[in-house]
Amino acid sequence: MNERLDEFVNDPGETMTNPTPDLSGDWDIDPDHSRIGFSAKHAMVATVRGAFTDVNGKLHADLDDPDASFVEIVCRTDSVDTRNAQRDEHLRSDDFFNVEKWPEIVFRSSRIEEIGDNALVVSGDLTIRDVTKAITIPIEFVGAHTDATGALRAGFQGTRRIDRREFGLEWNVPLDTGGVLVSEKITLEFELSAIKREAEAQLTA
Handedness of CA 69, 140, 103, 27 (dihedral sign): positive
Q: Is it the case that residue 182 has pLDDT exceeding 90? A: no
Residue of 88, 109, 24, 36 whose CA lies nearest to 61:
24
Q: Is it the case that residue 203 has pLDDT exceeding 60? A: no
- Tens of pLDDT, residues 102-116: 999 999 999 999 888
Q: Which residues contact 51 (CB under 8 A, 6 or more apart)?
A: 35, 36, 37, 38, 80, 81, 189
User: Cα separation of 19 and 11, whole Å?
Assistant: 10
Mean pLDDT value across residues 153-167:
96
- What pLDDT score was predicted for residue 205? 52
Percent of all residues in the chain with a pLDDT value above 90, rounded to a whole number: 71
Q: Is it the case that residue 7 has pLDDT exceeding 50? A: no
Residue of 48, 9, 7, 1 whose CA lies nearest to 145:
9
Query: What's the pTM?
Result: 0.83
Q: Is it the case that residue 30 has pLDDT exceeding 80? A: yes
User: Cα separation of 127 and 134, whole Å?
Assistant: 9
Mean pLDDT value across residues 122-151:
95
Mean pLDDT of the chain: 87
Mean pLDDT value across residues 131-154:
95
Give the pLDDT band (50/70/90) at residue 48: very high
What stretches of the chain show up as alpha helix (H) in DSSP? 85-92, 199-204
- Burial label for 120, CB within 10 Å (0-12, 13-18, 19+), is buried
